[in-house]
């Protein structure tokens, strides 16, 4: 029975629409924890989602008399909009026109949709345009918005009949003064009217223009469908007498009013797992320790695991995520999923090993599992054989199968919990989900397992308890940080109140101050808060909104979705057999790159970055776009050039934050033109200063005929990535820093500077370059002092692009053949065998420290713990050291690997100039230092540097002494020159 004598509505309904079940709960807001649960309901999710929501609401309202009068709010979490994207449902997706606000060709080489899967791009791409505008990462203006150009685009969009628009400006999240996206929207609105949906990217996501743009496009494509769905939810509520506000839960576990949700549906795409974690924490109450807990949600097919903080909110992903193959930088739950659930099928191998999943009987558990009379052995059968009271039939399992199956499940859960938890210390686990019965009573690395009451509907409870969020951010001078924190907190509270929160009861969920690379005087202050919702305020808004919202009956969704897939062209790994692929090399020795070659190179260059150099991804997209335009990208070996040939060493320098927000541009091109003018002659070839990281690909971008029409040499001046400009082989060859000068630097906006020779030493030269880069907005294109073909033969590191290509091919081939766990063996072979490279350690990161130095270098250290034998796959190369923990130290790039504890603590296993790199054990790809995070499982490897780096002078420049380390370097590995791709695949003219 429900009491109804409260002076105001005090009940909240939470609904979570999952792929299998729709769960709902009725909560009493005057109580807490399990005492607050008045009633709950679980039904199968209907094909008609609205009908399913209405049915579950009806069931809850029957839990007592006059319940509907006491309901203050209904909160719904759903993946309904996400499913339309994942399923490529053309009946629910709109074509989108994208307008980029960008000047000086910034982002021009990476246009909208450049990194999309072909099928989804075909469905959503309606129109693309670039209009002058944009701001820098510090909020200063790059160029004025071209209003006339916006009007011109409005006419084109109108002619094409497109009703969904995304406006994406460079630097828009930092544009607090000019508000160019808002101005562009206003111009479009005046021209196109109110029946067009216009999305501004700064309303959707933060820095990182390509990922923010992708999220904005997805949002724009789904807005119309979201409006219809939310109207149907409202209609269902009102028909049941629920005259109260409707909210939807966001990806971060917060409330969105129905008006905000229908405008920004992408914010609610993945709220299900977040609701489960929030609900679990609520049910556990005071049992959640100060250091937080790990929530394990076991379903029928999968187990989702996420970390909950002591404040009851989940840990969010720190970087981009993917939606249907599209990279976005939305705030979403950091969750790890494995193929383990109550319906997981048990398999026995020929050699007696037992495996659980990933295949599952899913919702057919009661028909197929043995404990219900079926003939399929499932994880639930294992639980029954150990005493669980489930089913109708004894599954008749042997003790051996039960023991081995239980041990496998235990190991799987321990491994995924270990990846998610915040530290190496034993953690508390909160266990929820319908499949939780398969979890053993104890797990290694877990101090306590909590199974709260109502765990089966934790997701609906999470929806019911969601709160209103507010956030604010500001870049300030270092001296103003404390004052700025108060100001930003006030702004965040005001933001929450504006969205219907009660600021007096706010909880601060984020309070961060971080440095801005290459900008010494700036810090970014960020604050986020969570507040209880003021339902009475929302109710007034709700009545006003529903009175103006068309709630007339619309055609209901049917079970058969009108998907239009016939015309969709799906992308399938470029359609090439990697094992038999041959690159295109002509008889002159010119290697013409394909899309697959670029993919190999991008993966390999990041490995050679030794943790630094920046991700090659944006440059890879730039080159991919050139190929799609029909341009040629060519690599040649050094024999292609005469001794007097002039080679231009190219690179981009500056803050990664700038590269994320305005990739591409004419920075390097202008630097080349400036150097050409300075020298009075052109170039015969381009070359990479460093093959490691993004700059390994940069030199390829200026070979096409519309630029210089020159090839890139297969080689570089580092053989890796280094953090300082003087750490190149040209300086090893000479004792004079002025042999590296002049250097040209260009902003890409018309400012070009020559750093001349005549410097007193390295510090003066480096300071001059750095000051100019900072004054250019913390990013510049650069051309170093040119070198001749003869010099390249003498001190260049040859065939380094060939090596990158081979490393990338090895990773992709191992992944395709399902042997990525042993890819380190292939990597060793590509470096030249066991004398040239080796595995140092298989481990899990258990501690990470990042710092920003005064010279804008990222310094830090990471501690790794040795993986157990059960966590390693067969066929992996052995390691020489028996250390249980190691320490990796880095300055942008990895500098050293040493034993962390025990009698051999401090003993070096590898030391710069060795190439030290970490590979993700799940993908085989490189892990950069910015991506080091707790729980990541990696293989730590070392490879021999080029012989020039092991000379006395080479060690002085690029060895420990070059980084201020008082350690003697003793080379143990032997360098093996990589086999030239050009030599291997060049046509044999003798036949």
Residue count of the chain, please give it: 991
Helix pair 800-816, 595-608: axis angle to 10 deg: 100
468 φ, ψ (degrees, to nearest 5): -85, 140
- Give the pLDDT score at 963: 93
CA–CA dist 553, 222 (Å, integer)? 21
Residue 723 clears pLDDT 60, i.e. is over it: yes
pLDDT average, residue stretch 351-370: 83
Mean pLDDT of all residues in 327-331: 87
Beta bridge partners, 715, equal: 798
The 10s digit of each residue's pLDDT in 534-549 is: 887 766 666 666 655 5
Q: Please check the confidence at residue 445 and state whether its pLDDT lies above 70.
A: yes
Residue 5 clears pLDDT 50, i.e. is over it: no
DSSP calls for 480-510: GHHHHHHHHHHHHHHHHHHTTB-GGG-EEEE
CA distances from 432 to 43, 292, 413, 429, 455 (A): 17, 16, 13, 10, 5
- pTM: predicted TM-score of the whole model, two decimal places: 0.88
Tell me the mean pLDDT in the region 461-472.
92
Question: What tokens were used for 871?
Answer: 């966590």
Residue whose entry in the numeric block shows the structure tokens 């997209």 = 621
* pLDDT-based confidence at residue 553 (cuts at 50, 70, 90): low
C-alpha closest to that of 28 among 70, 69, 76: 70
Residue 46 has what pLDDT? 73
Q: Give residue 400's pLDDT.
A: 86
Of residues 858 and 439, the one with the higher pLDDT is 439
pLDDT tier for residue 481 given thresholds of 50, 70 and 90: confident
Contact of 616 with 606, CB cutoff 8 Å: yes
Q: Which residues contact 736 (CB under 8 A, 6 or more apart)?
A: none
Separation of CA 879 from chain center: 31
Q: 164-169 and 96-101 as β-strands: parallel, antiparallel, unpaired?
A: parallel
User: How many other C-beta atoms are found inside a 10 Å radius of the C-beta of residue 570?
Assistant: 12
Instruction: Say if residue 976's pLDDT is above 70.
Output: yes
Half-sphere exposure of residue 490, counting CA atoms within 13 Å on the CB side?
6
The per-residue b/e assignment along 878-917, b for 16 or more CB within 10 angstroms, e otherwise, is: ebeeebebbbbbbbbbbbbbbbbeeeeeeebbbbbbbbbb
Determine how β-strand 344-348 pairs with β-strand 354-360.
Answer: antiparallel
pLDDT interval class at 572 (50, 70, 90): very low
pLDDT digits (tens, 9 = 90+) for 652-666: 998 878 888 999 899
d(CA 252, CA 250): 5
- Please give the share of the chain, as a percent, with pLDDT higher than 70: 92
**Nearest C-alpha neighbor of 57 from the set 103, 7, 17, 4:** 17
The beta strands (E) that lie in 805-927 are given as 837-852, 858-866, 885-891, 893-899, 908-911, 915-920
pLDDT given for residue 271 in this prediction: 83
pLDDT exceeds cutoff 60 at 144: yes
Residue 641 has pLDDT above 90, yes or no: yes
Interval 448-465 mean pLDDT: 91
Alpha helix stretches (DSSP H) within 559-608: 595-608
Q: pLDDT for 799-812, tens place per residue? A: 999 999 999 999 99
Give the best-scoring range by mean pLDDT among 334-348, 369-383, 821-835.
821-835
- With a pLDDT cut of 90, the percent of the chain lying above it is 57
User: How high does pLDDT run on average in the chain?
Assistant: 88
* Cα 828 to the center of its chain, rounded Å: 28
**Which among 26-35, 265-274, 277-286, 908-917 has the top mean pLDDT?**
908-917
Asked if 428 and 447 touch (Cβ cutoff 8 Å), the reply is yes
CA-based end-to-end distance of the chain? 92
Residues near 874 by beta carbon (within 8 Å), at least 6 away in sequence: 822
Whether the Cβ atoms of residue 813 and residue 827 lie closer than 8 Å to each other: no
In order, the DSSP letters of 55-113 are HHHHHHHTTSTTGGGGEEEEEEEE-HHHHHHHTT-TTT---EEEEEE--TTBTTTS-TT
pLDDT tens across 17-32, in order? 876 678 899 999 889 8
Most confident segment among 327-336, 467-476, 919-928: 919-928
Q: Which domains does the chain have, with CATH numbers?
A: 11-85+230-281 (3.30.420.40), 93-221 (3.40.50), 288-447 (3.30.420), 468-532 (3.30.1660), 575-801 (3.40.1610.10)
Structure tokens at 894: 């990895």
Q: How far is CA 115 from CA 167, 198, 274, 688, in A?
A: 18, 22, 28, 24
| Phi, psi torsion values for 102, nearest 5 degrees | -150, 140
Any idea what the Cα angle at residue 59 is, between residues 55 and 63, rounded to 5°?
A: 160
Amino acid 852: pLDDT = 58
Which of 638, 576, 636, 600 minimizes the C-alpha distance to 806?
A: 600
| The Cα angle at residue 609 between residues 606 and 615, in degrees rounded to 5 | 45
Cα gap 204→181, rounded to integer Å: 12
DSSP three-state, residue 239: helix
pLDDT at 727: 97
Q: How far, CA to CA in Å, does 420 sit from each of 329, 596, 871?
A: 20, 34, 16
- Separation of alpha carbons 96 and 125, rounded Å: 6
Spell out where 321-479 has E strands.
321-323, 326-328, 335-338, 344-348, 354-360, 427-432, 446-450, 468-477
Other CB atoms within a 10 A radius of the CB of residue 644 amount to 9
pLDDT of residue 871: 66
The H helix count followed by the E strand count for the chain is 26, 40
- What pLDDT band is residue 252 in, cutting at 50, 70 and 90? confident
Confidence of residue 991 (pLDDT cuts 50, 70, 90): very low
Report whether pLDDT(762) > 80.
yes
Residue 610 and residue 944: Cα distance in Å, rounded? Answer: 12
**Whether the Cβ atoms of residue 668 and residue 695 lie closer than 8 Å to each other:** no
Q: What is the rounded CA–CA span in Å between residue 509 and residue 612?
A: 31
> Is 714 in contact with 686 (CB distance < 8 Å)?
no
Give me the residues paired with residue 218 across strands.
none
Q: How confident is the model at residue 858 (pLDDT cuts 50, 70, 90)?
A: low
Phi, psi of 13, rounded to the nearest 5 degrees: -105, 130
Tokens 């409005």 belong to which residue?
154
**Mean pLDDT for the stretch of residues 321-342:** 84
Helix (H) or strand (E) holding 165: strand 164-169
Is it the case that residue 566 has pLDDT exceeding 70? no
Reading the block at residue 439, the tokens are 């979890």
Q: Which residue has the higher pLDDT, 502 or 336?
A: 502
pLDDT surpassing 80 at residue 881: no
Asked whether the predicted pLDDT for residue 912 surpasses 90, the reply is: yes
């Amino acid at each position: 029975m429900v009491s109804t004598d409260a002076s105001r509505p005090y009940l909240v309904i939470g609904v979570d629409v999952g792929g299998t079940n729709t769960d709902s709960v009725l909560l009493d807001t005057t109580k807490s924890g399990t005492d607050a649960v008045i009633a709950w309901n679980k039904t199968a999710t209907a094909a008609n989602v609205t009908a399913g929501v209405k049915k579950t609401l009806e069931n809850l309202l029957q839990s007592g008399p006059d319940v509907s009068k006491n309901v203050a709010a209904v909160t719904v979490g759903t993946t309904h909009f996400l499913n339309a994207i994942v399923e490529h449902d053309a009946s629910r997706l709109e074509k989108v026109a994208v307008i980029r606000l960008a000047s000086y060709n910034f982002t021009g080489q990476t246009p909208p949709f450049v990194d999309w899967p072909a099928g989804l791009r075909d469905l959503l791409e309606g129109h693309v345009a670039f209009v002058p505008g944009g701001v820098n990462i510090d909020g200063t203006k790059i160029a004025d918005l071209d209003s006339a150009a916006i009007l011109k685009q409005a006419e084109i969009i109108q002619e094409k009949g497109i009703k969904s628009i995304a406006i994406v400006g460079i630097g828009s999240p930092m544009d607090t003064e000019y508000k160019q996206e808002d101005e562009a929207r206003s111009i479009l609105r005046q021209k196109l009217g109110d029946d067009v949906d216009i999305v501004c990217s700064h309303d959707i996501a933060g820095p990182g223009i390509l990922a923010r743009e992708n999220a904005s496009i997805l949002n724009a494509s789904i807005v119309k469908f979201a409006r219809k769905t939310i109207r149907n939810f409202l209609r269902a509520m009102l028909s049941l007498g629920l005259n109260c506000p409707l909210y939807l839960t966001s990806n971060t576990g917060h409330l969105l009013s129905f008006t905000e949700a229908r405008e920004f549906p992408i914010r609610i795409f993945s709220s299900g797992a977040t609701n489960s974690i929030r609900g679990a924490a609520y049910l556990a109450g005071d049992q959640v320790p100060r250091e937080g807990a790990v929530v394990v949600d076991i379903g029928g097919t999968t187990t989702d695991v996420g970390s909950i903080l002591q404040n009851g909110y989940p840990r969010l992903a720190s970087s981009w995520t993917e939606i249907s193959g599209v990279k976005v930088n939305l705030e979403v739950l950091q969750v790890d999923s494995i193929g383990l659930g109550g319906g997981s099928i048990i398999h026995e191998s020929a050699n007696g090993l037992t495996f659980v999943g990933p295949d599952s009987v899913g919702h057919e558990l009661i028909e197929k599992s043995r404990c219900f009379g079926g003939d399929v052995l499932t994880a639930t059968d294992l639980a029954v054989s150990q005493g669980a009271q489930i089913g109708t039939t004894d599954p008749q399992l042997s003790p051996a199968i039960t023991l081995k199956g239980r041990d496998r499940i235990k190991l799987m859960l321990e491994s995924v919990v270990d990846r998610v938890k915040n530290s190496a210390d034993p953690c508390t686990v909160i266990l929820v989900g319908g499949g939780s019965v398969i979890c053993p009573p104890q797990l290694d690395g877990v101090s306590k397992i909590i199974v709260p009451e109502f765990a089966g509907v934790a997701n609906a409870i999470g929806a019911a308890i969601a709160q209103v969020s507010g956030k604010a951010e500001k870049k300030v001078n270092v001296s103003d940080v404390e004052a700025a924190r108060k100001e930003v907190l006030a702004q965040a509270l005001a933001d929450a109140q504006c969205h219907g929160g009660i600021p007096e009861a706010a909880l601060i969920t984020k309070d961060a101050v971080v440095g801005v690379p290459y900008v010494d005087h700036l810090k970014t202050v960020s604050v986020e808060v969570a507040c209880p919702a003021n339902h009475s305020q929302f109710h007034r808004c709700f009545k006003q909104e529903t009175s103006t919202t068309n709630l007339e009956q619309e055609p209901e969704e049917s079970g058969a979705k009108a998907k239009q897939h016939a015309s969709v062209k799906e992308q399938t790994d470029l359609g090439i057999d990697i094992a038999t692929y041959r690159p295109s090399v002509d008889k002159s020795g010119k290697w013409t790159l394909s899309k697959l070659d670029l993919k190999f190179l991008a993966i390999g260059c990041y490995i050679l970055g030794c943790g630094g150099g920046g991700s090659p991804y944006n440059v890879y997209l730039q080159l991919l776009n050139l190929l799609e335009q029909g341009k040629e990208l060519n690599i040649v070996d050094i024999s292609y050039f005469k001794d007097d040939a002039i080679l231009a060493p190219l690179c981009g320098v500056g803050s990664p934050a700038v590269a994320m927000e305005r990739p591409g541009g004419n920075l390097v091109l202008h630097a080349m033109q400036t150097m050409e003018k300075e020298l009075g002659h052109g170039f015969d070839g381009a070359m990479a200063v460093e093959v490691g990281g993004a700059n390994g690909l940069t030199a390829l971008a200026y070979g096409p005929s519309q630029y210089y029409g020159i090839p890139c040499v297969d080689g570089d001046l580092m053989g890796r990535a280094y953090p300082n400009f003087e750490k190149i082989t040209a300086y090893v060859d000479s004792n004079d820093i002025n042999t590296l000068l002049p250097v040209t630097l260009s902003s890409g906006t018309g400012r070009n500077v020559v750093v001349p020779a005549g410097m007193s030493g390295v510090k003066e030269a480096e300071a001059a370059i750095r000051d100019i880069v900072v004054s250019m907005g913390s990013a510049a294109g650069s051309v170093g002092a040119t070198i001749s073909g003869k010099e390249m033969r003498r001190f260049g590191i040859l065939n380094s692009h060939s090596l990158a290509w081979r490393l990338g091919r090895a990773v992709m081939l191992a992944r395709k053949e399902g042997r990525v766990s042993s890819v380190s063996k292939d990597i060793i072979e590509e470096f030249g065998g066991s004398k040239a490279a080796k595995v140092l350690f298989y481990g899990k990161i258990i501690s990470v420290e990042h710092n920003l130095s005064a010279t804008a270098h990222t310094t830090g250290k990471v501690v790794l713990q040795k993986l157990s034998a059960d966590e390693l796959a067969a066929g992996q190369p052995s390691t020489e050291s028996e250390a249980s923990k190691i320490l990796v130290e880095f300055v942008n790039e990895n500098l050293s690997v040493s034993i962390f504890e025990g009698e051999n603590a401090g003993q070096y296993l590898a030391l710069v100039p060795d190439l030290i790199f970490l590979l993700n054990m799940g993908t085989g790809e490189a892990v950069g230092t910015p991506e080091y995070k707790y729980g990541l499982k990696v293989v730590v490897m070392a490879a021999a540097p080029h012989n020039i780096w092991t000379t006395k002078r080479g060690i002085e420049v690029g060895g420990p002494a070059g980084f201020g380390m008082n350690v003697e370097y003793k080379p143990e590995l032997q360098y093996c020159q990589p086999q030239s791709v050009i030599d291997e695949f060049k046509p044999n003219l003798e036949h």
